[in-house]
Amino acid sequence: MKSSLPFPLVAALMLLCVHAYPWEPCNIHPMSNCTCWDPDNPSVSCAHLHLTIIPQSNTFDEAPTIANLDFCCNSLESIPVGAFQNLRTQRLDLSHNQYLQLNDRSFDGLGDSLLSLSLKGVAMYNTPPDVFGPLTSLKELDLSQNRLIRVANLRPLISLKRLILTNNNIISWESNAFADSVELEELDITLLAYNKVDCLRRVSQMGGNSTTSLKVLRISHCRMRLRQASVWKFPHLQALSLQYAHIMDSDVNSSSLLAAVQNSLTSLDLANNELTVIPVALIRPLQKLEHLDLSRNFIASVVFPDPPLPSLTYVDISSNRIFTMPSGPLQEINGLAYLSLAWNLLPTLSADYNKPGLELSLSGNPFMCDCSLKWLVNLAGREIEGGQPGPLSIHDIHTGIQCEGDYRGMSLAELHKSEAYEVRC
The stretch 293-312 carries a mean pLDDT of: 93
Does residue 6 surpass a pLDDT of 60?
Answer: no
Lowest mean pLDDT among 158-167, 242-251, 337-346, 390-399: 390-399
Q: What percent of the chain lies above the pLDDT cut of 70?
A: 87
Where is average pLDDT lowest: 172-181, 294-303, 372-381, 393-402?
172-181
- Residue range 109-127: mean pLDDT, rounded: 92
Mean pLDDT score of the chain, rounded to an integer? 84
Identify the weakest region by mean pLDDT among 63-77, 138-152, 231-245: 63-77
Q: Is the pLDDT of residue 132 over 90?
A: yes
Burial class of residue 372, CB neighbours in 10 A (0-12, 13-18, 19+): middle
Mean pLDDT, residues 19-38 = 56
Task: Assign 364 a pLDDT band (cuts: 50, 70, 90).
Answer: very high
What's the chain's length in residues?
Answer: 425
Instruction: Give the pLDDT score at 194.
Output: 63
Taking 80 as the threshold, does the pLDDT of residue 31 lie above it?
A: no
Question: Residue ranges of the alpha helices (H) in 91-207?
Answer: 199-207
Per the CB < 8 A criterion, the answer to whether 143 and 132 are in contact is no
Q: Backbone phi, then psi, for 63, in 5-degree steps?
A: -135, 150
Rg (C-alpha) for the chain, rounded Å, is 26
Higher-pLDDT residue of 138, 85: 138
Banded model confidence at residue 229, pLDDT cuts 50, 70, 90: low
**Residue percentage of the chain with pLDDT more than 90:** 42
The answer, yes or no, to whether residue 318 has pLDDT greater than 60, is yes
Interval 95-113 mean pLDDT: 90
Mean pLDDT of 234-249: 93
Residue 115 has a pLDDT of 96
- Sign for the CA dihedral angle at 175, 103, 35, 59 comes to positive
What confidence tier does 1 reach under pLDDT thresholds 50, 70, 90?
A: very low
Q: Is the pLDDT of residue 92 over 50?
A: yes
* H or E segment and range at residue 293: strand 291-293
Residue 241, pLDDT above cutoff 90: yes
Give CA–CA dist 248/141, Å, rounded: 33
Q: Is the pLDDT reported for residue 19 higher than 80? A: no
As a whole number of Å, the end-to-end CA separation of the chain is: 64
pLDDT of residue 209: 77
Residue-level pLDDT at 28: 39
Distance CA 294, CA 272 (A): 8
Backbone angles phi, psi at 124, to 5 degrees: -85, 125
Q: Catalogue all structural domains in the chain, each as residue range(s) with its CATH number.
A: 1-142 (3.80.10.10)
pLDDT at 4 over 50: no
The per-residue pLDDT for 204 is: 81
Amino acid 13: pLDDT: 53
Greatest Cα-to-Cα distance within the chain, rounded to the nearest angstrom:
79
**Which helix or strand (DSSP H or E) is residue 150 part of?**
strand 150-151
pLDDT bucket at 264, cuts 50 / 70 / 90: very high
Of 28-32, 286-290, 332-336, which range is least confident?
28-32
Looking at per-residue pLDDT, the higher value among 42 and 244 belongs to: 244
pLDDT higher than threshold 80 for residue 196:
no
Predicted confidence (pLDDT) at residue 346 exceeds the cutoff of 50: yes
